[in-house]
Amino acid sequence: MKREDRGRKYLVWKTLARFGGFAMAAWLAFGILFPEMFWNADVCKSCEQECLSGEELLDAVLSAKPGEIKGHSRLMELWQAFWKKDRKVSDKGMEQKLTADAPIGVFDSGVGGLTVAREIMRQIPNEKIIYFGDTARVPYGSKSKETVTRFSRQIVRFLQTHEVKTIVVACNTASAYALEDLEKETDVPIIGVVKPGAKAAAEATRNGKIGVIATEATIGSHIYSQYIKKIHPEVTIYGKACPLFVPLVEEGLWEDPVTDEIAKRYLNELIDIDIDTLILGCTHYPLIRSTVARIMGDKVTLVNPAYETARELKEMLERKGLLKENPVALGENKYQFYVSDGAEKFKTFANSIIKYGILSAKTINIEEF
């Protein structure tokens, strides 16, 4: 072969190789910037279980095939979180500008979080609220940390589509299991219900004996003990799981002989210990507060984290300049309610708790977020 022919072929192959490398780089970059057009949603489900490292994330990008299934926004979030470690990233991949007029997001495993929403309505009445109750997957108290965290991430992404200015995790189990991760991953302020309740109990106790009634998950996490001990190291905390309280509340059996009998069985050992302060460590429990108070007696102070959380929320909004000063405009939808199942049942239940007239509740497929 002549030297000129070999030279021409070498230049052709070199040009093709350069073009191929450029095309591959462009395809990869475009896939990272616009993942919803490229990546398989199965990868999204796997990376949602546990955040990938940079090397694993790159492998996930390279192994995903274009054009299969749309909707891999989680990969973009993880990629940006890896390369921009010092910046909190929203699901949109950009920092959200917070305004006082934006709504507050509130979520719970079901209807219990309505006690928190009710306190927010009472204490800061000018605020707009977007509430989500995960009624299809209630209760959270018997589920694993990984499952509760995955559910919580989905809900936070849904609330962010409404451009909320802050998020209240109105569920003790989600606060215990998922709050720390959510705070790291989300670009809006997030508060849970555990810290405010723990602080109030530490300040209220006189004999240093504090009881906590909650779901199995919250009691097992020892989260209340950890927070209380930081404030008041000398106190002793006694936890008691009360798993049947949530279904009793969900069924509307607040003042019922069955509820009374079960409450006595749960609470008798706390009475024998002589606690002087009791934390209602599940947002469902304030709805049976009168039953608990009657059994525990006048000498025991009941701490309602829902009330304390609303107080802390107001203080936080004031500090950040996000407190809404003016009432909602006439005709504007002030309170919006969403659930993952049973919208009509939820609306009926909510109207028995919140006296503001809940006109509708909308069912959404939370698995899409």
pLDDT, position 52: 45
pTM for the full model?
0.72
Phi/psi at 312 (5° precision):
-65, -35
Q: Is 171 a catalytic residue?
A: yes
- Residue 49: its pLDDT value, please? 42
Confidence class for position 331, pLDDT limits 50, 70, 90: confident
Indicate the class that CATH gives domain 96-369: alpha beta
Annotated active-site residue in 44, 47, 171, 242: 171
pLDDT of 353 = 85
pLDDT given at position 5: 54
pLDDT given for residue 214 in this prediction = 94
* pLDDT tens by residue, 243-284: 999 889 888 888 899 999 999 999 999 999 999 999 999 999
For the cut 70, the answer to whether the pLDDT of residue 50 exceeds it is no
Residue 54 has pLDDT above 50, yes or no: no
Q: Is the pLDDT of residue 208 over 90?
A: yes
Average pLDDT of the segment spanning 164-176: 95
Q: Which residue has the higher pLDDT, 155 or 87?
A: 155
Lowest mean pLDDT among 57-61, 65-69, 234-238, 360-364: 65-69
Considering the chain, what is the average pLDDT of its residues? Answer: 81
> Of 44, 47, 242, 282, which one is the catalytic site residue?
282
What confidence score (pLDDT) does residue 23 get?
A: 52
pLDDT over 90 (residue 127): yes
Kindly list the domain boundaries of the chain, sorted by start residue. 3-83, 96-369
